[in-house]
Amino acid sequence: MAKNEAVKKGIFALGAKNDAYAQYFIGQSYLNNLVNDPDVNVGVGNVTFEPGCRNNWHIHHNGYQILLVTGGEGWYQEEGKPAQHLMPGDVVVTHDGIKHWHGATKDSWFSHLAITAGTPEWLEPVSDEHYNSLDK
């Protein structure tokens, strides 16, 4: 699919398979750490999800996260709210303490830059039943 090839060859390199966080994801993701500087209090990474891949429910404690969508189609959901369908150019701000997840749609690769401060707490996976109930 041409669209998916374009996501993999985005402005920021795909990076390696995201083995460090694989236990907190369903499906395959890729991570390219763009800023990982002990003198800077946010990390910036290019995160890419294969179709169907999503991270577990999680919370960013004592910090926040900003997602800048750069390619493909994906989802973002906060607990108790409807999932938001994401497209390139969309921006999401996750505040301190908010339980949420993000990932690709079933049939599209998905890339976002993640600007993250604080400490993540990883929770339960997004179930297939829930994920498959989303309408894309």
Binding site for Mn ion (CB under 5 A): 65
Hey, which bits of 1-136 come out as E strands? 16-17, 25-26, 29-35, 43-49, 54-55, 58-72, 74-78, 84-86, 91-94, 100-104, 110-122
Q: Which residue is nearest to Mn ion (CB)?
A: 65
Please report how close the Cβ of residue 114 comes to Mn ion at its closest, in angstroms: 7
- Residue 12 identity: F
Residue 29, phi then psi, degrees to nearest 5: -125, 165
- Identify which of residues 18 and 65 has a Cβ nearer to Mn ion in the complex: 65
Please report how close the Cβ of residue 34 comes to Mn ion at its closest, in angstroms: 16
Please report how close the Cβ of residue 5 comes to Mn ion at its closest, in angstroms: 26
Give the β-pairing of 43-49 and 74-78.
unpaired
- Identify which of residues 65 and 108 has a Cβ nearer to Mn ion in the complex: 65
- Identify which of residues 6 and 66 has a Cβ nearer to Mn ion in the complex: 66
Please report how close the Cβ of residue 101 comes to Mn ion at its closest, in angstroms: 7
Q: Is residue 36 within 8 Å of residue 46, measured between CB atoms?
A: no
- Identify which of residues 1 and 79 has a Cβ nearer to Mn ion in the complex: 79
